């Protein structure tokens, strides 16, 4: 029988939900998932992370998407606005994961696609993300969904004695018609003239 898969967008978490989120997070890290932890987080650490995310959700600075399979949390991901005022139109996607037992169900694509749509509706203009250089499957998924690489920091992700590239990607979601794109042209707030070489 085909499992029932649906998305849930929490704004708060009870004990049961906190336990399910920790279950997924712990299992993904134990399986070597590249989600920002070297060791599986304990329950207190996972609860604190979730509480911080949900506080941002309540301020409309983030969204957390949970993928439920037959009513149980099996995948997740989030977007979170940049904190500096001049970057409030941008957000970063992170913590995209699926429990190892739920791999192959398309949860990653479902979650990322939903986060893109949600961020667009929230007025986000640009989504960014970082991926470990050897996480080729995730990078391919992001590319299929429209993300493009804008740069990489070579060998800056530390996992014991191993070093991996931090691949940075972005997706433009659209802008209001009144927005003027200035790019890197000279002039405007914060500009400075080129330095002339001394001969």
Q: Which residue pairs, CB below 8 angstroms and at least 24 apart, start in 195-198?
A: none
Q: Give the pLDDT confidence score for residue 197 in this predicted structure.
A: 73
Residue 170 forms beta bridges with which residues?
A: 128, 148
Segment (H or E) for 19: helix 15-30
- Give tens-digit pLDDT for 41-95: 999 999 999 999 999 999 999 999 999 999 999 999 999 998 888 889 999 999 9
The CATH code that applies to domain 5-125 is 3.40.630.30
- Give tens-digit pLDDT for 107-160: 999 999 999 999 999 999 999 999 999 999 999 999 999 999 999 999 999 999
Residue 28 and residue 13: Cα distance in Å, rounded?
20
Phi, psi for 34 (deg, rounded to 5): -90, 75
Residue 77 and residue 35: Cα distance in Å, rounded?
10
The pTM (predicted TM-score) of the whole model is 0.92
Phi, psi for 105 (deg, rounded to 5): -90, -5
Residue 172 and residue 190: Cα distance in Å, rounded?
24
First to last CA, the chain: 77
């Amino acid at each position: 029988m085909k499992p029932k898969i649906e998305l849930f967008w929490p704004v708060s978490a009870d004990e049961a939900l906190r336990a399910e989120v920790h279950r997924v997070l712990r299992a993904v890290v134990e399986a070597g998932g590249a989600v920002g932890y070297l060791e599986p987080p304990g329950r207190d650490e996972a609860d604190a992370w979730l509480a911080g995310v949900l506080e941002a959700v309540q301020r409309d600075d983030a969204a957390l998407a949970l993928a439920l399979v037959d009513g149980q949390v099996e995948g997740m991901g989030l977007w979170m606005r940049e904190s500096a005022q001049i970057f409030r139109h941008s957000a970063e996607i992170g913590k995209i994961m699926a429990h190892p037992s739920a791999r192959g169900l398309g949860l990653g694509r479902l979650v990322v696609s939903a986060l893109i749509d949600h961020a667009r509706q929230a007025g986000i203009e640009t989504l960014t993300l970082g991926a470990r250089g050897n996480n080729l499957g995730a990078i391919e998924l992001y590319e299929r969904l429209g993300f493009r690489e804008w740069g990489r920091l070579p060998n800056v992700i530390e996992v014991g004695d191993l070093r991996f590239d931090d691949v940075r990607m972005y997706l433009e979601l659209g802008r209001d018609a009144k927005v003027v794109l200035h790019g890197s042209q000279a002039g405007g707030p914060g500009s400075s003239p080129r330095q002339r070489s001394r001969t």
